[in-house]
A and B are shown apart, each in its own frame.
Chain A
Amino acid sequence: MTNDRIWKLLARQLSGEASLTELEELERLRTLSPKQEKAVDDVADWWLHNPAADTEFLEATYLAHLERMKDKGCHLNEQKGELANDREIKDASITSTGVLTSFNIKRLLIAAILLAGLALSWVLLKPGQGSQVAVSISKPAEVATLNGARSKILLPDGTNVWLNSGSKITYNRDLDTSSIREVYLSGEAFFDVVKNAKRPFVIHTAKMDVKVLGTRFNVKAYDDDQTTETSLIKGSVEVSLKNNPGRKYLLKPNQKLVLSNDLPLKAAKGMATVALPEVATNLVEIKPLTYLQGTETDIESSWTKNLLSFEDEAFIEVAKKMERWYDVSIEFKNKRWEDKFLNGSFEKESLEQALKALKYTTGFDYKIDHNKITIY
Chain B
Amino acid sequence: MSFLHNNNSDSKVSELQYQVAVYEDETAYKSLFFHLFPSLQNFAFSITRSRVLAEEIASDLLLDVWTRRKKLLEIDNLKLYLFVGAKHAAIHKLKQENKFARFSLDDLQVEFISDYVNPDVSAELHEMQEKIARAVKDLPPSCQLIYKLAKEDRLKYKEIAHLLDLSVKTIDHQLSIALKKIANALHYPNPKKNGS
Contacts and interface: CB of A to CB of B under 8 A. Distances in A.
Given A74-B66, A114-B14, A42 B6 contact: no
Contacts of B12: 141, 173
Contact of B183 (A7, A62, A86, A154): A7
Contacts of B175: 7-8, 11, 15
Contact of B6 (A19, A39, A143): A143
B4 A87 contact: no
Nearest to B67: A74
Interface stretch (B86-94, B97-105, B112-120): B112-120
Contact of B196 (A1, A49, A54, A162): A1
Contact of A2 (B24, B30, B184): B184
B18 A35 contact: no
B187 A306 contact: no
B128 interface: yes
Nearest to A153: B6
A126 interface: yes
A47 interface: yes
Interface string A278-315: 00000000000000000000000000001000000000
B4 A152 contact: yes
B37 A61 contact: yes
Contacts of B179: 7, 10-11, 43, 47
Interface residues of B, number: 60
A17 B114 contact: no
Given A2-B183, A40-B183, A12 B18 contact: no
A39 B195 CA distance: 14
A65 B33 contact: yes
Contact of A50 (B37, B73, B114): B114
| B29, B59, B179: residue with the most chain A Cβ atoms closer than 10 Å | B179
Interface string B26-41: 1001100110011000
A274 interface: no
A151 B6 contact: yes
Interface in B40-70: 55, 59, 62-63, 66-67
Interface stretch (A75-83, A210-218, A232-240, A361-369): A75-83
A42 B183 contact: yes
B182 interface: yes
Given A143-B6, A154-B8, A83 B25 contact: yes
| B18, B33, B188: residue with the most chain A Cβ atoms closer than 10 Å | B18
Contact of A74 (B25, B37, B38, B63): B63
A62 B4 contact: no
Contacts of B5: 16-17, 151-154
Nearest to A76: B26
Nearest to B29: A76
Given A40-B183, A150-B4, A153-B5, 17 more contacts: A2-B184, A8-B176, A10-B176, A15-B175, A39-B187, A43-B179, A46-B182, A58-B34, A74-B63, A79-B24, A113-B18, A117-B76, A150-B2, A150-B3, A152-B5, A154-B154, A156-B8
In the complex, the 3 A-B pairs of residues with the closest C-beta atoms, listed nearest first:
A8-B176, A11-B175, A134-B11
